[in-house]
Structure 1
């Protein structure tokens, strides 16, 4: 829902070699150079990354495409109280309401033969508009881009459609489409409660009706301005084109936006759990989070990336969590850990650029595990259980984090994981669009080229660096946890968590017979692992995101 395509075609962007040195610019073009082996200071002032004349270039004369990105340091945290979702509605209207000269339908018909693509992505702190087209049609497409950014139509009929879809999302889709994504967004609601980071970017059920077309026009004028934008351009383009792009962006509103400070995560007192009950949930989706004051701007982030990858790299099968929960015990589809927001993790195997954040947290994602009701229907030998696999899986995951904090990684584990990461991070930037996106994200964090700098930081790490960073920044005594589950599971799970009731793993007889004794022995330890649970609340799904 967050990626809003005006017209999307399955066009593969030209892959670019990760070894190429891009040209990057800030007011004037400069060639990227090799930084010192140990990067300890930022290449750029993050506070000065956005504004008039700020440009990131990725020149590729051999390419047959041109990518343009406009990143505004303005996300959902800029929404006024009572009108949460206004920034999202504004971004959608810019993309989906045409221009003063062309309706959205006319634009779609016009760009179809060009295989052009444009969309926006709205997050907490930035909003990014992306345009992609074959170089042969750049001039014609650019006239449309210019119209969308400088003279959006803001038509009443388009506003009604956009707002209706947005209302449907916050009322229905967010609760029904994916319990996994639901649990992640619910965790952020809990973790950032009372701050401008709390609400989902689309707003709330109560706030969306308050948004008017006049609000959208004013928000566009006051927040999508030349003073808080970073221009990005990649591919085969001329200096004349870049100058024209810069000159046109300089015609945007000259208002200096009053961007609020990013909300900071709340500090949990012990383990605080919110169980969201809903009708006919097929499993329990679990997401945990605890504040972590480190982002990509800090060199220590590289050390935490190694530990995180070892514990549970997103959608990878070698991590400790995946091995213990899925591979060994066949409990669910996958289990991972995170040291920053992973956008649309259910859909993408590689992290997307365009969602940089200054408020951060460490998280665990336990993809849905079975509930008692389902297990009892499948296996007669489990007819007496009250709680499904959520309690056991949560204990197992937290125990693995505790083991890593207390015992650290071995030298061999460290070397293997670091070697993997140094190759894997280069896959983040396989396309022009992704490479340009990461270069622009780098400026947000005060860096020049995050991927290159990260590789050098990884090369200079030691296992002691990693283990020390884990001890310094990770802990499991104080966490927020959200669990989306069936209404039949909610109360029994609440009581089990509050009372630290033993949670023996519920296997079918056939599965249990095939398990090694060491797994059974470990299960007994996990079943009695003490969690510092201090509070558990049950929330009806209908009451979330109100």
Structure 2
């Protein structure tokens, strides 16, 4: 089994390296500057001391990525605010405000008129709101920059904030928090529910769109005030990339300096709660087809710390996002055909169900180690499919959880081998270069770098990876990971919720439920491992069932 896993990762290395080499041949940055010429310094010691991200924002703060050979210009404005600045009772206000800037036109043009005008230019713009930042992105061919820029300026400095647009934006937002988040994807549901549990009682708890109770409280006047107080010249980082002139950059800086001159009261980011043992929240949902699982454990390390590089190697080895060589994927999907994939994360991964590679624009100071176990079958479904499983009470969730925790435990106890380490590191050093295949992604990651006190996260992590040892990785895993204290959220069918709750609370043995045909084809070593997994002890201290209609309160 081990040799098979190593063959898988080795098979990834050559095509990834070739793709990364192709990216390296694209036009590279000639400047990555802060116009105030201040130098930000990352945490070069192997500690988890946080960097004050606010230092990256304010008047004159600019990240440049000049590419004279490019035919595009990318403008990004990152504001240090995010959903953590939402007032209590009006959660979702930052999201509403950002949407109103991009979806309500300017004082001179409606949003429909803007879209019609920029369509022939293939220009585009949008916004992304996360917990601590809001990022606007504008992209246009250089030939149309002079025509496009007045629209950019109008959206930022003179947004229309029209009543009819407000009603539309708010209606869509209400529909999301009422229906979409619970109905569109149980995997995304369990992921957001994990953050709700992990950060409960803090300004990180609510999803950026708000809650069913809070969105109705948001008024258009709230939006206007939030724009004046939290989208200011004092908490913005300008990013610009592509083929632009110095004169244009000066114009952009001059216009951004016309944003409100208010010093926003940015709160401290909420810290994750400390779990007491393994605490589980089961979300009971009608007609769920499986059990969608996310686990999370507080971890005081972000990209600011050099230890992050060591954890990147361990994380990739355990379960690189959407890659089949990871230990979790190999044990749960490949060997046992339990689901579509299983992965590990050492930072927030935005829209993981849609993207193979991480997106920039979601930097955070509060962090945790997470596992994503994609939906596994429930007892009711297995009973209907296989007559030989008619007497089971619980589906595959309990076994899958035990297997995943046991793999983390094994990594903590035994560490990576030198061979595992070398192959995984080699893969990562090429794979990270694929994060920045486009100019927009390059600029985004450079701006994120400043949030963490770095100049160029991709380059700096590559240097750190080059100097890592297997001992560094194994020590970091022991220091920052764990299986005894964590949070787990499971979205599952109403028929599965109570039997699963009792099985978890009682640490009931959970033998793997195979069909006869599958069992007959498994090697003895897998069946022997199954026995050990079925009896692996989880430090369960609390299991609560919550009806789906009662989540995100």
List structure 1 segments (4+ residues) > 2 angstroms apart after TM superposition: 14-22, 38-42, 44-47
Distance 1:341 1:22, change over 3 A: farther
| Mapping for residues 346-385 of structure 1, pairs under 5 Å | 346-385=353-392
Counterpart position of 1:11:
none
Q: CA RMSD in A?
A: 1.9
| 1:17–1:430 Cα contact (<8 Å) kept | no
Give me the whole-angstrom Cα distance separating, in 1, the residues matched to 2:332 and 2:25. 36
Q: Deviations over 1:208-245 (max 9, x none)?
A: 00000000000000000000000000000000000000
Counterpart position of 2:32:
24
Give me the whole-angstrom Cα distance separating, in 2, the residues matched to 1:266 and 1:29. 38
Counterpart position of 1:474:
481
Given candidates 427, 437, 448, the residue that maps to 1:441 is 448
Counterpart position of 1:486:
493
| Mapping for residues 414-453 of structure 1, pairs under 5 Å | 414-453=421-460
Aligned-partner SS, 1:25: coil
Q: Is the counterpart of residue 63 in structure 1 residue 70 in structure 2? A: yes
Counterpart position of 1:158:
165
Q: Is the counterpart of residue 296 in structure 1 residue 295 in structure 2? A: no
Q: Deviations over 1:47-70 (max 9, x none)?
A: 321000100000000001010000
Aligned-partner SS, 1:366: strand
| 1:18–1:426 Cα contact (<8 Å) kept | no
| 2:28–2:67 Cα contact (<8 Å) kept | no
Q: Is the counterpart of residue 266 in structure 1 residue 281 in structure 2? A: no
| 1:304–1:469 Cα contact (<8 Å) kept | yes
Q: Is the counterpart of residue 236 in structure 1 residue 236 in structure 2? A: no
| 2:105–2:159 Cα contact (<8 Å) kept | yes
Counterpart position of 2:335:
328
Aligned-partner SS, 1:24: coil
Aligned-partner SS, 1:154: coil
> How many Å apart are 1:288 and its aligned residue?
0.3
Counterpart position of 1:142:
149
Give me the whole-angstrom Cα distance separating, in 1, the residues matched to 2:318 and 2:379. 28
> How many Å apart are 1:507 and its aligned residue?
0.5
Give me the whole-angstrom Cα distance separating, in 2, the residues matched to 1:303 and 1:411. 14
> How many Å apart are 1:19 and its aligned residue?
8.3
TM-score by length of 2: 0.94
Q: Deviations over 1:390-421 (max 9, x none)?
A: 00000000000000000000000000000000
| 1:39–1:453 Cα contact (<8 Å) kept | no
> How many Å apart are 1:15 and its aligned residue?
6.5
Given candidates 108, 113, 120, the residue that maps to 1:106 is 113
Q: Is the counterpart of residue 397 in structure 1 residue 376 in structure 2? A: no
Counterpart position of 2:258:
251
Aligned-partner SS, 2:33: strand
| Mapping for residues 505-524 of structure 1, pairs under 5 Å | 505-524=512-531
For structure 1, list consecutive stretches of 5 or more residues without a partner in the other structure. 1-13
Give me the whole-angstrom Cα distance separating, in 2, the residues matched to 1:201 and 1:236. 34
> How many Å apart are 1:545 and its aligned residue?
1.2
Counterpart position of 1:202:
209
Q: Deviations over 1:279-318 (max 9, x none)?
A: 0000000000010000000000000000000000000000
Aligned-partner SS, 1:254: coil
Give me the whole-angstrom Cα distance separating, in 2, the residues matched to 1:137 and 1:316. 40
TM-score by length of 1: 0.95
Q: Is the counterpart of residue 48 in structure 1 residue 55 in structure 2? A: yes
| 2:23–2:434 Cα contact (<8 Å) kept | no
For structure 2, list consecutive stretches of 5 or more residues without a partner in the other structure. 1-21
| 1:23–1:29 Cα contact (<8 Å) kept | no
Distance 1:517 1:532, change over 3 A: same
Aligned-partner SS, 1:26: coil
Q: Is the counterpart of residue 176 in structure 1 residue 188 in structure 2? A: no
| 2:63–2:238 Cα contact (<8 Å) kept | yes
Give me the whole-angstrom Cα distance separating, in 1, the residues matched to 2:229 and 2:24. 37
Give me the whole-angstrom Cα distance separating, in 2, the residues matched to 1:48 and 1:524. 53
Instruction: Give the count of matched residue pairs.
Output: 530
Give me the whole-angstrom Cα distance separating, in 2, the residues matched to 1:184 and 1:520. 31
